[in-house]
Amino acid sequence: MKKILIAATAAMLVTGAGLFGASAADKLKVGFIYIGPVGDLGWTYQHDLGRLAMLKELGDRVETTFLENVSEGPDSERSIEQLARAGNKLIFTTSFGYMEPTLKVAKKYPNVHFEHATGYKRDKNMSTYSGRFYEGRYIQGIIAAKMSKSGVLGYIASFPIPEVISGINATMLGAQTINPNIKVKIIWANTWFDPGKEADAAKALIDQGADIIMQHTDSPAAMQVAAERGKLAFGQDSEMIKFGPKAQLTSTMNNWGPYYIERVKAELNGTWKSEDFWGGLKSKIVVMAPYTNMPDDVKKLAMETEAAITEGKLQPFKCPIVGQDGKEVECKGGTHLDDGQVLGMNFYVKGIDEKIPGK
Amino acid sequence: MQLVLEKRAERSNTIALISPLIAIGLTLVTMSILFAILGKNPISALGVYFIDPLTDSYSLQEIAVKATPLVMIAIGLSLCYLANAWNIGAEGQFLVGAVAGSWLAVKTQGTDAGPWVLPAMMLLAAIGGALYALIPAICKVRFGASEILTSLMLVYVADLLLDYLVRGPWRDPKGFNFPTTAEFDPVAAVPALIEGGRLHLGGVIALVVVAAVAVLLGKTIKGFEIRVVGAAPRAARFGGFNSNQLILLTFAISGALAGLAGIIEVAGPVGHLQPGISPGYGFTAIIVAFLGRLNPVGILIAGLFLALTFIGGEQAQIAMKIPLDVTKVFQGILLFYVLACDSLILYRFKLVFASPKVSSGAH
């Protein structure tokens, strides 16, 4: 045994050095930090599809590395810095909780470019990017109001952050165009990804009379529950039809490929600039899954709404918008709420009976 | 025919000493096979895991940063385990310590409080962790409640308390509702030891803790009492040692150390209070405590070694595209071999042949 040990140690010492940087030195190195496993079939999975789409187009000039399951706690700064040290010149950090760590590492590595998803802090070498997911929610609201018999929607929410609040509001604004008396019940799962909790929330919502399940969490568990109980549901982040072939109405899918291609191209051409990108249906960052399990007239209405939003003819947050307190919300964007109001949204629209947690 | 474990009549001290090395050797061999199956060169893979992180100051710092909370918590736990008191809730004590210390950081935010803030935060964290650990200890000595269950369940209570605070009263008012406090002021932050590096004062504190506990166990009567109560409870009773008092003491020390580790992590590498500040440090520390054989120096080495596997695993993901799961498999295999080798020091396998009871001439 000792001999094996000595031999192994010696061999390691000889070959250990100089492993980095030997291969593909002339390719641009691009790094990704993922919050979940690439196989979560939701948020991280879609980012990884985006990475693969980018590789398909630019693979001859680009090499990618990803770190998965990176917790948002103390480990993330190290993981991001590891990628920077390994020679990655463009690094995408794909969850909100990476904001401060990304900012710290960006200050340390001024020659590396960073892109942080869904955050609001930027720097000379740190961009932010996100999707206008509320556009898809508005369409879902219209479909939900058309399809619901009980007039009660069940909503599984993650954290009471503006992205989630604006999604709930957009859903209700869409639904109210069909049924002004529509109700929504909200359960806060306090997680992005926990199939067990998400399934429990879906069951509880159905037991409370909801017949349409919507979610702002990442796993297909709620879809499976809806399918078992013979209810309808919307997918989240990715195509979830195989988890509920008779249940899924559509899914608001995150399609990061076009953005990753554009940004990596900019990096290759030396034209990368720090920006704040917020794309929706028009830039194909938000894509709707096929409309299924609904009558043709609902399908037609959904497609018309989608087209109107894409063309900019329809604004989900069109003024006047009335808050829960009955007062009209200030209309900073002229005909609709401006981006700042949506990005910092911290109120419910009229028609929602619940309270924002912690408010 | 049966395979049974039989207690060895005597144990070899030499083997006991090199058994961890044998375990590591076996792990390396097993991992090499696994790497080969994955189509990676085993030698270079092992090099990335174990050698590369030791070759530059950056990785060495990261190893120290990662090992700091693990070692501090594990040292405290080892005292409990030596005294036969089973504190499984260090994770909760870590969180409560972080919360107790952060209270001061949040309250003094934006004021021109002086450099007393950080030491006071650490003191509060240690007291908070100790008080939280005393709950299961008191339940144990007063009511005979299993400390394993109560300490474990209190982890979830601490988790939810932290969650409530950062979503409600302590939330950063400019943080768009995201569940986190504002970044701590500089006077409330653990200072870095090297300009621009991540190594922080916590590493030094961890070393002091290791030394202090080594002295406590080796040179003081209290340390002797702790060891005797665990190893020979009857003898301890005859010796007049108060085992209940020792349970309270070891729980309090271990809670204080976990709490201190909590505030150092929050005020150091993280910089603010948020959910998920611990990727399971309190539980990983249990492994560290046993890998280090409940010995302070052993725990220091075990903590550094486990940290090395984390950092190496991450570098392997980057350099060789080896999936994260392999790192976890690797840690599991290591633990398996360590425990197996330890068992085989005390026990040996023996084949027992069924006695020839079944007679041949029955019919």
Report, as an integer, the average pLDDT of B89-105. Answer: 97
**Which residues of chain B lie closer than 8 angstroms to A358, CB-CB?**
167-168, 171, 177
Quick check: is A181 in a domain? yes
Q: How high is the pLDDT of residue B357?
A: 54
Q: B25 and A8: CB-CB below 8 Å?
A: yes
Q: B176 and A12: CB-CB below 8 Å?
A: no
Q: B48 and A78: CB-CB below 8 Å?
A: no
Same domain, A137 and A147: yes
Give the number of domains in chain A.
Answer: 2
**Does B231 score more than 80 pLDDT?**
yes
**Min Cα–Cα distance to chain B from A30, Å:** 11
**Does B361 score more than 70 pLDDT?**
no
Q: How high is the pLDDT of residue B7?
A: 80
Q: A108 and B196: CB-CB below 8 Å?
A: yes
Same domain, A154 and A95: no
Same domain, A164 and A302: yes
**Does B241 score more than 60 pLDDT?**
yes
**Min Cα–Cα distance to chain B from A5, Å:** 6
Same domain, A86 and A225: no
Q: Which residue in chain B has the smallest CA separation from A121? A: B175
**Min Cα–Cα distance to chain B from A299, Å:** 36
Q: How high is the pLDDT of residue B354?
A: 65
Dihedral angle, C-alpha A320, A325, A330, A331, nearest 10 ° = -30
Q: How confident is the model at residue B338 (pLDDT cuts 50, 70, 90)?
A: confident
Of A1, A73, A344, the CB nearest to B25: A1
State the CATH number of the domain containing residue A60: 3.40.50.2300
Q: Mutate one of B310, B318, B320, B324 to test the A interface: name it (highest A CB count within 10 A).
A: B318
Return the closest-CA partner of residue A97 out of A224, A191, A220, A211: A191
Q: A16 and B51: CB-CB below 8 Å?
A: yes
Q: Mutate one of A15, A19, A71, A191 to test the B interface: name it (highest B CB count within 10 A).
A: A19
**pLDDT tens per residue, range B114-130:** 899 999 999 999 999 99
Of B55, B176, B270, the CB nearest to A73: B270
Report, as an integer, the average pLDDT of B244-270. Answer: 95
Q: A190 and B52: CB-CB below 8 Å?
A: no
Q: A358 and B167: CB-CB below 8 Å?
A: yes
Quick check: is A352 in a domain? no
Q: How high is the pLDDT of residue A2?
A: 46
Of B55, B277, B318, the CB nearest to A73: B277
**Between these two residues, A57 and B5, which has the higher pLDDT value?**
A57
Whether chain A has a CB inside 8 Å of the CB on B204: the answer is no
pTM: 0.82
Q: A73 and B50: CB-CB below 8 Å?
A: no
**Min Cα–Cα distance to chain B from A328, Å:** 21
Task: Dump the DSSP string for A69-102.
Answer: S--SSTHHHHHHHHHHHTT-SEEEE-SGGGHHHH
Q: B324 and A100: CB-CB below 8 Å?
A: no
Q: How confident is the model at residue B217 (pLDDT cuts 50, 70, 90)?
A: very high
**Which residues of chain A lie closer than 8 angstroms to B163, CB-CB?**
190
User: CA Rg, chain B, in Å?
Assistant: 23
Quick check: is A20 in a domain? no
Domains in chain B: boundaries:
67-321
Whether chain A has a CB inside 8 Å of the CB on B280: the answer is no
**Does B12 score more than 80 pLDDT?**
no
Per-residue pLDDT of chain A (359 residues; tens, 9 = 90+): 444 445 444 444 444 333 343 344 589 999 999 998 888 788 999 999 999 999 999 999 999 999 998 988 778 999 999 999 999 999 999 998 899 899 999 999 999 999 999 888 899 999 999 999 999 999 999 999 999 999 999 999 998 888 899 999 999 999 999 999 999 999 999 888 889 999 999 999 999 999 999 999 988 999 999 999 999 999 999 999 999 999 999 999 999 999 999 999 999 999 999 999 999 999 999 999 999 999 999 999 999 999 999 999 999 999 999 999 999 999 998 899 998 889 888 899 999 998 888 66
* Residue A146: other Cβ atoms inside 10 A: 19
Report, as an integer, the average pLDDT of B282-310. Answer: 91
**Does B163 score more than 60 pLDDT?**
yes
Planar angle of CA B250, B101, B64, nearest 5 degrees: 70
Same domain, A154 and A166: yes
Quick check: is A357 in a domain? no
In angstroms, the first-to-last Cα distance of chain B is 25
Give me chain B's average pLDDT, please.
Answer: 89
Amino acid identity of residue B93, one-letter, is Q
Q: How confident is the model at residue B325 (pLDDT cuts 50, 70, 90)?
A: confident
Q: How confident is the model at residue B175 (pLDDT cuts 50, 70, 90)?
A: confident
Q: How high is the pLDDT of residue A283?
A: 92
Q: What percent of chain B has pLDDT over 90?
A: 53
Q: What percent of chain B has pLDDT over 70?
A: 97
Quick check: is A272 in a domain? no
Host domain of residue A109: 26-131
**Min Cα–Cα distance to chain B from A128, Å:** 15
Same domain, A71 and A144: no
Q: How confident is the model at residue B178 (pLDDT cuts 50, 70, 90)?
A: confident
Same domain, A160 and A291: yes
Q: How high is the pLDDT of residue B362?
A: 45
Interface of B with A in 3-22 (CB under 8 A): 21-22
**Does B144 score more than 50 pLDDT?**
yes
Of A16, A78, A160, the CB nearest to B62: A78
* Alpha carbon separation from B281 to B100, B289, B324 (Å, rounded): 18, 12, 18
* Bridge partners (DSSP) listed for residue A126: A114, A123
Q: How confident is the model at residue B155 (pLDDT cuts 50, 70, 90)?
A: very high
Q: How confident is the model at residue B150 (pLDDT cuts 50, 70, 90)?
A: very high
Same domain, A113 and A56: yes
Q: A74 and B196: CB-CB below 8 Å?
A: no
Q: How large is the ipTM?
A: 0.78
Same domain, A112 and A139: no
CB neighbour list of residue A356: distance below 8 Å, 6 or more residues apart:
A160, A165, A346, A347, A348, B177
Same domain, A161 and A306: yes
Q: How far apart are CA B212 and CA B228, in angstroms?
A: 19
Q: How high is the pLDDT of residue A243?
A: 94
Domain B67-321 CATH assignment equals 3.40.50: no
**Does B165 score more than 90 pLDDT?**
yes
**Min Cα–Cα distance to chain B from A4, Å:** 8
Same domain, A202 and A170: yes
Contact B121, B94 (CB under 8 A): no
Residue B233: CA count within 13 A, CB half-sphere: 9
**Min Cα–Cα distance to chain A from B49, Å:** 9
Q: How high is the pLDDT of residue A17?
A: 36
Domain final residue, candidates A98, A115, A131: A131
Of B51, B62, B318, the CB nearest to A86: B318
**Between these two residues, A122 and B291, which has the higher pLDDT value?**
A122
Q: How high is the pLDDT of residue B158?
A: 97
Q: B52 and A15: CB-CB below 8 Å?
A: no
Q: How far apart are CA A145 and CA A332, in angstroms?
A: 28
**Which residues of chain A lie closer than 8 angstroms to B26, CB-CB?**
1
Residues in chain B: 363
Q: How high is the pLDDT of residue A297?
A: 96
> CA quadruple A240, A246, A252, A255: dihedral positive or negative?
positive
Quick check: is A83 in a domain? yes
Q: How high is the pLDDT of residue A103?
A: 94
